[in-house]
Amino acid sequence: MPPPLSFTGRRWQWQSPDTEAHDPQAILTRLLRERRLTGSAPAAVPAFPDLPRSTERIRAAIARREIVGIFGDYDCDGITGTAQLVRYFRRHGLEPFVILPHRVRDGYGLKKPIIEMFGVHGTTLLITVDTGVTAITETEEAQRWGMDVIITDHHHLHAELPRAYALLHPALVPNFPLPFPSGAGVAHALVQALEGGDEWEDAPTDRALAMIGTIADLVELRGLNRTLVQQGLQALSALSTGPLATLVTDVLRTSHRTLTSTDIAFRIAPRINAAGRMEDPLIALTALLEGGEALTTLETLNVRRQESTQSLLEEALATLGLPARCTPSLHAELPPFLAIASTSFPEGIIGLIAGKLTETFGRPSLVATVNGRECTASLRSTSAYHITEGLERCRDLLTSFGGHAQAAGCSLPAARFDELHHRLHADIEERVSEEELLPQLTIDGSLHASTVTLAFCERLREIEPFGQGNLEPLFVLPDVRIESPRRVGNEGAHLQGRIAGIKTIGFKLGHLLEHTERPLDIACHLRTDTWNGVKAPQIFLEDLRAAEHAPELINEEEEAALTST
């Protein structure tokens, strides 16, 4: 009989058969081996077939003082990639004409009205960043305006490709080592080729920009991506001047600490993304290139983004008839696919709401905003279902679509939303089992609480940087008790205490306080804490369940308490 679900309704999945061995050194060795982190990554990005053609054309444009246009995506990946190219042209005495699309006014991707704006401006060379691989008719339109088009992208390839002057995409490189780079990573490879080596004027800032885009876009942090992120974190930590250094200092309130991928993912990248979500992505581009007041604006927009997301998530949950938290008995009532459309959802927030739904309930989800007869949707999924391939099977309903395995976007006539909902529901039901639709935690190792030492916590840093494809290790401490448990934070949102004398905190787990009276299995991350100059291990709770050696089924009273808290 499988162990019961956790108090948050999640199934704990052991990473490998020997995950439950309790030897810290053996666990660390296994993690390095399983994640293929012991060998050396490829020394350099393999050459894109169109790279020589691209660099020659760009250098010619600089020599002839042509008007160069850059079109980037509105997210952090596209903005940081665009920033690198703008910096390259400025170093070589040319100011490019840049357009980043507005989510509401322009929508996703290259469109004919944007091509016209570039054409009217006199653009003769157009470079896309983190977008363009599906822009077939738009590329033809640009050519009619007399533009050569260089596309740099990394998104899912369709059967037909644009007939661009050059197309830089990792899938077009024979035997390109997986995982593929982000859009900012592809842009960095282009800049590196243009500069003719690994070092150029203020190269650390460009490496830092590529790193931020790589982490923000959730590409797997293995191979070349891992190397780029390691180098970019070192570069950003060493910067003492410039907009990026100011951003880090303002956000982290210190310039004297080693940056981690977690800092980027949860504190830096969301601020860059906030501009495109709430107003105009050009604010973020200006902040990264110029600093000043634009950096302050990013902070203001990010606060607005947080408040709006929470409010609209509550609205979505109410409409779907779902509680704020998942519980073990709820799964039997959930459909395999969660979908909602509303005129009140801003386009910049729908992806965040979809992400929250999928994370909480373990189901693929779609959240859409309706504007008249048009519908724009953002989709998120679990590893069990490739959401972009699902959209491919429904493409006859869609005006446009694109994305990755677990995140995608599409537009369609509002009148066809119900049909898309039905078809994706059936597609998921056919391809994914009920068990795969349970939210799950993947456990990397089981440790006795007595083996959680400062030395082991510090050695875990050998696995960094953490991110997609190389998640921070998650451990189980079996059969423990939380000492002096209490709720802390705003409205008692967090759970605090000690385990075996070690400081312990569980963010947003305050509602589980009543379960701490019993022996527990704890799913947690292990990090270090420094207080008054003293460093010590610290336990960060991720989930709790009744200790497996004495499982206790959740009774109806506890279920009601969990749901109502």
What is d(CA 541, CA 495) in angstroms, rounded to the nearest whole number? 8
Chain centre to alpha carbon of residue 428: 23
What is d(CA 44, CA 382) in angstroms, rounded to the nearest whole number? 31
With contact defined as beta carbons under 8 Å apart, do 402 and 387 qualify? no
With contact defined as beta carbons under 8 Å apart, do 186 and 170 qualify? yes
Residue partners of 18: CB distance under 8 A and separation at least 6? 26, 30
Q: What is the pLDDT of residue 478?
A: 93
Q: Examine the pLDDT at 432 and tell me if it is beyond 80.
A: yes
pLDDT, averaged across the chain: 91
Residue partners of 36: CB distance under 8 A and separation at least 6? 222
Q: What is the pLDDT of residue 256?
A: 55
Confidence of residue 440 (pLDDT cuts 50, 70, 90): confident
For the domain spanning 51-299, the CATH number is 3.90.1640.30
Pick the CATH number of 11-34+440-564 from 3.20.20.10, 3.40.50.300, 2.40.50.460, 2.30.30.790: 2.40.50.460
Mean pLDDT along residues 348-372: 94
User: Side chain identity at 152, as an amino acid letter?
Assistant: T
Q: Examine the pLDDT at 17 and tell me if it is beyond 70.
A: no
Model confidence pLDDT, tens digit, residues 294-323: 999 999 999 999 999 999 999 999 999 999
- Give the architecture-level CATH label for domain 327-437: Roll (3.10)
Confidence of residue 42 (pLDDT cuts 50, 70, 90): low
Q: Examine the pLDDT at 552 and tell me if it is beyond 70.
A: no
Scan for tokens 């070349």, then name that residue: 224
What is d(CA 487, CA 494) in angstroms, rounded to the nearest whole number? 6
Q: Examine the pLDDT at 347 and tell me if it is beyond 70.
A: yes
Q: Examine the pLDDT at 190 and tell me if it is beyond 70.
A: yes
DSSP code of 218?
T
**Beta strand pairing call for 125-129 and 97-99:** unpaired
Whole-Å CA distances, 125 to 99, 108, 162, 375, 449? 13, 21, 16, 33, 61
Alpha-carbon dihedral 290, 123, 48, 285, rounded to 10 degrees: 20
Q: What is the pLDDT of residue 336?
A: 94
The runs of H, that is alpha helices, within 69-169 are 76-91, 112-120, 136-144
Lowest model confidence (mean pLDDT) among 16-20, 156-160, 328-332? 16-20
Where do the domains of the chain lie?
11-34+440-564, 51-299, 327-437
Q: Examine the pLDDT at 557 and tell me if it is beyond 60.
A: no
Q: What percentage of the chain has pLDDT greater than the value 90?
A: 75
Q: What is the pLDDT of residue 83?
A: 98
Q: What percentage of the chain has pLDDT greater than the value 70?
A: 94
Mean pLDDT along residues 123-147: 96
Q: What 3-state class would DSSP assign to 558?
A: helix
- Token pair for 284: 């973020």
Mean pLDDT along residues 329-347: 91
Q: What is the pLDDT of residue 115?
A: 97
- Token pair for 345: 């959802």
Q: What is the pLDDT of residue 475?
A: 94
Q: What is the CA radius of gyration of the chain?
A: 24
DSSP code of 222?
S
Model confidence pLDDT, tens digit, residues 277-298: 999 999 999 999 999 999 999 9
With contact defined as beta carbons under 8 Å apart, do 475 and 525 qualify? yes
What is d(CA 265, CA 467) in angstroms, rounded to the nearest whole number? 8
Phi then psi dihedrals of residue 360, to 5 deg: -75, -40
With contact defined as beta carbons under 8 Å apart, do 152 and 186 qualify? yes
SS3 of 348-395: the string is CCHHHHHHHHHHHHCCCEEEEEEECCEEEEEEECCCCCCHHHHHHCCH
- Token pair for 25: 């050194």
Mean pLDDT along residues 29-55: 83
Model confidence pLDDT, tens digit, residues 396-427: 999 988 888 888 999 999 999 999 999 999 99
Which has the closest alpha carbon to 451: 20, 30, 22? Answer: 22
Confidence of residue 483 (pLDDT cuts 50, 70, 90): very high
Q: What is the pLDDT of residue 318?
A: 95
Model confidence pLDDT, tens digit, residues 209-219: 999 999 999 89
Model confidence pLDDT, tens digit, residues 61-77: 999 999 999 999 999 99
User: Side chain identity at 352, as an amino acid letter?
Assistant: L
DSSP code of 6?
P
Q: What is the pLDDT of residue 400?
A: 87
**DSSP notation for 483-517:** EEEEEESGGG-EEEEEETTEEEEETT-GGGGGGGG
Model confidence pLDDT, tens digit, residues 364-383: 999 999 999 999 999 999 98
**DSSP notation for 223-284:** HHHHHHHHHHHHHHHH--SSHHHHHHHHHHS-SSS---HHHIIIIIHHHHHHHHHHS-HHHH
Q: What is the pLDDT of residue 564?
A: 39
Phi then psi dihedrals of residue 105, to 5 deg: -70, -40
Q: What is the pLDDT of residue 217?
A: 92
Q: What is the pLDDT of residue 255?
A: 54
Residue partners of 279: CB distance under 8 A and separation at least 6? 301
Q: Examine the pLDDT at 326 and tell me if it is beyond 90.
A: no
- Token pair for 13: 């999945």
Residue partners of 227: CB distance under 8 A and separation at least 6? 41, 42
Confidence of residue 5 (pLDDT cuts 50, 70, 90): confident
Which has the closest alpha carbon to 520: 558, 560, 495, 550? Answer: 550
What is d(CA 366, CA 409) in angstroms, rounded to the nearest whole number? 9
Scan for tokens 């162990």, then name that residue: 3
What is d(CA 400, CA 411) in angstroms, rounded to the nearest whole number? 5
Q: Please tell me the total number of residues recorded for the chain in this structure.
A: 565
- Token pair for 89: 């042209």
Q: Examine the pLDDT at 562 and tell me if it is beyond 60.
A: no
Residue partners of 464: CB distance under 8 A and separation at least 6? 260, 261
Give the HSE-up count for residue 15: Cα atoms under 13 Å, Cβ half-sphere. Answer: 20
- Token pair for 379: 């989709």
Q: Examine the pLDDT at 514 and tell me if it is beyond 90.
A: yes
- Token pair for 107: 């929508």
Mean pLDDT along residues 537-544: 96
Q: What is the pLDDT of residue 335?
A: 93
